Chain A
Amino acid sequence: MTRKVRRVFILISAAALAWVFFLAYRPLPPLGFVHSQYGDLVNAITVPERHITDAVSAVNFDVRAFDTLGEEFILFTSVMGVLVLMRRQSDEPAGHHEDKAPGRTVPPASDAVRVTALLLVAPAMLFGLYIVVHGQVSPGGGFQGGVILASAPVLVYLCSEYAEFRRVLSMRLAEVSEAAGAATYILMGLVSLGLGGMFLENLLPLGRSGTLTSGGMVPFIDVGVGLEVGGGLSLALLAYLEELVEEKEQ
């Protein structure tokens, strides 16, 4: 296929795609006028029956908590996949870099990057914790908060040396955090079973709407998910960085 034929082909495809998008866009209802039965139902029950003021969290961690368990384990499995792919094999020589481009140096981080990263470490940590524990009250929760928490060690890496980064974030800490987070979710399900309900049925006292202790099991699940996501991302990060830095040091 010559270049010209390819270009004609891509133009036709692009035009067709644009037309389909246009057809899909036209009948969209105006902003804020969408009413679905499921949405109305969820809005009707979240505050009166579940004492959760964030409808999305109510769906994710209460009404359909079991689905979210599966979602969490997608991440868990992906992180395991990364670790398995990145592991050092026994027959792999340490520091093989037959291909290292000669004279390629890593530029040091600029002062501006260092200062900005240093200033952001503590706020990132605090904001991550805030997002994790306020999942049942306002937008956010374990997934989002966990990613923000995992960004704090990255900022430490940006503003200092790799050694400092490893002092803040050890493999063990990330592993334990991920495993404990994943276990928390399942344990919450078993707690419901133990209390005589169904798996992950919300049986703890629901508390007063709009407060940190509202939502029964939801805040516990959120903390578990936060640990799992934060730990999982950190593990993937460590797996990547470890090999890179090992080779750079030799």
Chain B
Amino acid sequence: MSDNGTIVGSNLEKALKAGYFVATGELGPPQSADRHEIEHKAGFLKGIVESVNLTDNQTAVVRMSSISVAVMLLEMGIEPNIQMTARDRNRIAIQSDLLGAYALGVRNLLCLTGDHQTFGNHPNAKNVHDVDSISMLQMCRNMRDQKIFECGDAIKGQEPRFLLGAAANPFADPFDFRPYRLGKKARAGADFIQTQLVFNVPKFQEYMRRVVDLGLHEQTYILAGVGPIKSLGAARYMAAKVPGMEVDPEYIERMRTSTQGLPSIKEIRSMDDPSEAKEARRLRKKAAETEGIGICVEIIEACKEIEGVAGVHIMAIEWEEAVDGIVRTAQIGPKYDPARQAA
């Protein structure tokens, strides 16, 4: 893996190159100009993951810019990984923002096509899509390694040097093409890959088998996307409503049975004592959350056994406090990986 791009010196790159089973986190910037909310959420991730992805107006909902949140994280001593979509910026804006992001200290970048604006809160917006994720990767690699802008002009002075990442969805169709698409991303410059949430381990195993057969795990580091399910409703929603996601029915059933033996929602509603009802609700919530975190840890353990998987990307948006328990139980990341402590 020594020829895998130029060293940018980020924590993420160092951990990947050292061969540790890495853990990255994710944080969704707020739909407001509130800095405190970021500091509160980021605090749960500090020191326990290599770097924290900052989504770029995910699901096309307007949020604080990922680069500005990245600066706040840097000030907190947390390494950011900015996401950049092709939906809202053309090649001029992307390159401009990346010059600024590098100058501000950002070293990791995830290149994405972006969720279509139809899903967000501004469905009447004009989308850009001047480049796509793969042509964006090529452009960013050329800025870093060739010191040229997309147009071919030389970058006179400091070039923006990012560890380049890309997404992959093993559960989208056509399934046969997905490993090849990952290969295109690796060839276009992706130093690492973060996948869609894995809730169908056998299918992910089959995908990785094909990826390994193509030798792609030796061209790029592949992090499996994982996340804790918070409730039965969340599991059902992901299974039925989120495009490009597959949830093993077993997990839905386990979320359903996680609250068995506890008073049902209906029974709680008919409780006369408000404090008793509150406590019953808390216990139900806790039981479901415990099961959700348990499933997440199991999937991480399964991923550790899959050839070619270099780590996990933990997506616990709006539930950042769950990440510590996950990485502690799974014994991964800078704080809890025994191999890291020994080193």
Tell me whether A and B are bound partners. no
